[in-house]
Amino acid sequence: MSKILIIEDEETIRRVLNKVLSEENKDYIIVEAIDGLQAIDIVKSNKIDLILCDIKMPKKDGIDVLKFLIKDYSEIPVIMISGHGDLETAVETMRLGAFDYISKPPDLNRLLNSVRGALKNNIFRKKNKFLLKKHKQFNIIGQSLEINNIKNIIEKVAKTNAKVLILGPNGSGKELVANQIHLNSSRCEGPFIEVNCAAIPSELIESELFGHIKGAFTSAVKDKIGKFEAADGGTIFLDEIGDMSLSAQSKVLRALQEHKIQRVGSEKDLVVDVRVIAATNKNLKSEILNDNFREDLYHRLAVIEIKVPSLNERSSDIPLLVEHFLKLISVENNSELKIIQSEALKTLQDFDWTGNIRELRNVIERLLVLTESSVISKDDIIKYSGK
């Protein structure tokens, strides 16, 4: 159900709007206010999903109400309705943050379309806000010196647009570091686009990154936007960048230098506003010496370097990671939450984790599935871990 507030000093118009909305959807709950002051009191004491607001009203006009709403209740979409408005007024209300502006007498189809659009947009924003909050709470697990150092760097670098190069072995959590930088930045509501450079054939990488125009090559049957365009206003994460071809590297370098890209087959420059975070498990300085990686690109990317340690280097974090995975996997599988004995934890800490965090997660999931008891023992670790 959606609660809609109509703010209108003319009773006849309130009655018409109420009737039209009630007939449109029986689940709409309609609330009425005769002036701006009464409307503000209603908003403060009720959960409102949408507001239809007149402009010319006694006590407090619609512009003042809109300013109040945008300041303190920006999540509520507002449709301004006025018989006294002109183009300048319409532009002003939209500039302040109104969802739409409709002149009196309102075209009922246009009004209903606007109401549907505003409510749909509000649901989408609330969902995104919830997911964003959920993701922000999913912090990097660990209290070791190495992990605390990474958290401190993330806190500092996230507030900037500085380019970041994340180094570390496979399975160590490089993608999580990149996600945390994005989610704690001013770009957090923008897209986060991940590109696994190692998984894309060298002949397709440029098309994937920069897009192409129809006819650029045999299979290019229509225009396609690339990952850089898709990430406009947000962050692009170039994972395993050490595996990128030299040709693609030169175009990435241009994108970093000039904030411009060209689709494959096109000569038109496209301006993009993208933050670049890259990661690799390779030693890029050695790759530079072997002519496999451009030195100028390395220096562009490595404004801030973050070294993610292997799990063996942060074995003190294993108890926290195990506790996290036990809870997470139990929820995912809708299964019983099991506990693990301290002796079993010590055994896990003594293992050689060549697969790092990814391998540890797999072992915990295996233990949850195969261990019959509600308590995971040292014997279960030896029996089911595969180590």
CA distance 287 to 295: 9
What is the end-to-end Cα distance of the chain in Å, rounded? 54
7 and 120 share a domain?
A: yes
261 and 233 share a domain?
A: yes
Give the pairing of strands 235-239 and 375-376.
Answer: unpaired
231 and 376 share a domain?
A: no
CA torsion 369-371-374-375 (nearest 10°) is: -130
Asked if residue 180 lies in contact with residue 142, where contact means CB atoms within 8 angstroms, the answer is no
How many percent of the chain have pLDDT more than 90?
A: 58
Q: What's residue 218's pLDDT? A: 83
274 and 150 share a domain?
A: yes
Q: Given pLDDT bands bounded at 50, 70 and 90, which one contains residue 107?
A: confident
Q: What's residue 312's pLDDT? A: 97
Residue appearing with tokens 């990952």:
227
263 and 364 share a domain?
A: no
DSSP characters over 25-82:
-TTEEEEEESSHHHHHHHHHHS--SEEEEESS-SSS-HHHHHHHHHHH-TTS-EEEEE
316 and 280 share a domain?
A: no
Residues paired with 50 in a beta bridge:
4
Residue 2 vs residue 90, higher pLDDT = 2
Q: What's residue 335's pLDDT? A: 84
Host domain of residue 364: 312-384
320-371 pLDDT, tens digit each: 999 999 998 998 888 889 999 999 999 999 999 999 999 999 999 999 999 9
128 and 10 share a domain?
A: yes
- Helix axes of 174-183 and 108-137: crossing angle, nearest 10 degrees: 130
Out of 294, 309, 324, a domain closes at 309
Out of 134, 154, 180, a domain closes at 134
Is 83 a residue whose pLDDT tops 90? no
297 and 148 share a domain?
A: yes
291 and 164 share a domain?
A: yes
CA torsion 261-264-265-267 (nearest 10°) is: 10
147 and 130 share a domain?
A: no
Q: Which residues contact 228 (CB under 8 A, 6 or more apart)?
A: 209, 210, 211, 236, 255, 261, 272, 274
Number of domains in the chain: 3
Question: Is the bond preceding residue 105 a cis peptide, omega within 30 degrees?
Answer: yes
Give the pairing of strands 260-261 and 270-271.
Answer: antiparallel
184 and 270 share a domain?
A: yes
Q: Given pLDDT bands bounded at 50, 70 and 90, which one contains residue 137?
A: very low
Cβ-count burial of 151 within 10 angstroms (0-12 exposed, 13-18 middle, 19+ buried)?
middle
3-state secondary structure of 172: coil
- We report the CATH number of the domain holding residue 22 as 3.40.50.2300
Report which of 232, 147, 129 is spatially closest to residue 183, judged by C-alpha positions: 129
Mean pLDDT of 130-156: 79
165 and 295 share a domain?
A: yes
